[in-house]
Amino acid sequence: MRFVQNDFSENKEPTIGAAFLTQKCRLEDRVLRYEIWDTAGQERFHSLAPMYYRNAQAAVVVYDITKATSLEKAKSWVKELQRQANPNIVIALVGNKLDLVQASSGTGGAPGASEEGEEEEPDDATATPGEGEEPAEGEQSLRQVPKEEAAAYAQEAGLLFAETSAKTGEGVVEVFTEIAKKIPIEHILASARGGPAGGRAGAAQGRAQAGNVNLQEGAPGGGKACNC
């Protein structure tokens, strides 16, 4: 939501299966079209997830930095993706709700999307109850997942890593930009017919590779209940 509409909404219809969003973005001299699948958060929907990530070029796995268990769930998602999804998939691990652990707060943002393809994202966009109002105890007050720990894991597993705030928008666009840089676009474009702007580029076969980009699954991001 934040990435696509630059918006953060507290209340939003829950995702049934997955919500589909698109966004165009300029990267260097090209326009990229992100097609994002925001997969449902509830545990029991996970058996449906392969349907959305099967052709994805990238995935954003989101966890909640204020909830230690969410990182564990995110890890199991990463494993699933590495084993079941497109072998060249670019995975980004994103710790969300940065706004909650920063004394100086911004305002809102949601997690992101992907490029030319589908992606799932759990949208942590929604409401975190009680946000913000912690009397500036300073950083780390609510944090349960140290940045170093998650970053170390990401490094080890070969993932992109970032911390963001969907609420304030901090870091969100960067995540998607990083993903776009890492996806072998040239390669994809070469195999897809023509379309300079990615996106729907290829037909059947082109698309299988080029088409969809990422999914982002979220760990219990915000209110969105994404629990992997």
Which residues of this chain interact with other proteins, rule CB under 8 A?
Answer: 10-18, 20, 22, 35, 40-48, 51-52, 54-55, 69, 72-73, 76, 79-80, 83-84, 118, 126-127, 200, 202-204, 207-208, 211-212, 223-225, 227
- Rounded to the nearest whole angstrom, what is the least distance from the CB of residue 37 to other proteins in the complex? 8
Sign, Cα dihedral of 66, 170, 13, 46: negative
The nearer residue to other proteins, 17 or 146, going by C-beta atoms, is: 17
Q: Where are the beta strands (DSSP E) in the chain?
A: 18-27, 30-39, 58-64, 90-96, 160-163, 214-218
- Rounded to the nearest whole angstrom, what is the least distance from the CB of residue 6 to other proteins in the complex? 20
The nearer residue to other proteins, 97 or 207, going by C-beta atoms, is: 207
Do 173 and 32 form a contact (C-beta atoms < 8 A)? no
The nearer residue to other proteins, 103 or 190, going by C-beta atoms, is: 190
Question: How far apart, in Å, are the Cα atoms of 169 and each of 48, 110, 125, 196, 221?
Answer: 29, 6, 10, 28, 14
- Rounded to the nearest whole angstrom, what is the least distance from the CB of residue 210 to other proteins in the complex? 10
- Rounded to the nearest whole angstrom, what is the least distance from the CB of residue 137 to other proteins in the complex? 25
The nearer residue to other proteins, 40 or 102, going by C-beta atoms, is: 40
- Rounded to the nearest whole angstrom, what is the least distance from the CB of residue 4 to other proteins in the complex? 13
The nearer residue to other proteins, 46 or 143, going by C-beta atoms, is: 46
* Amino acid identity at 124: D
Distance CA 174, CA 180 (A): 10
16: exposed, middle or buried (Cβ count in 10 Å: 0-12, 13-18, 19+): exposed
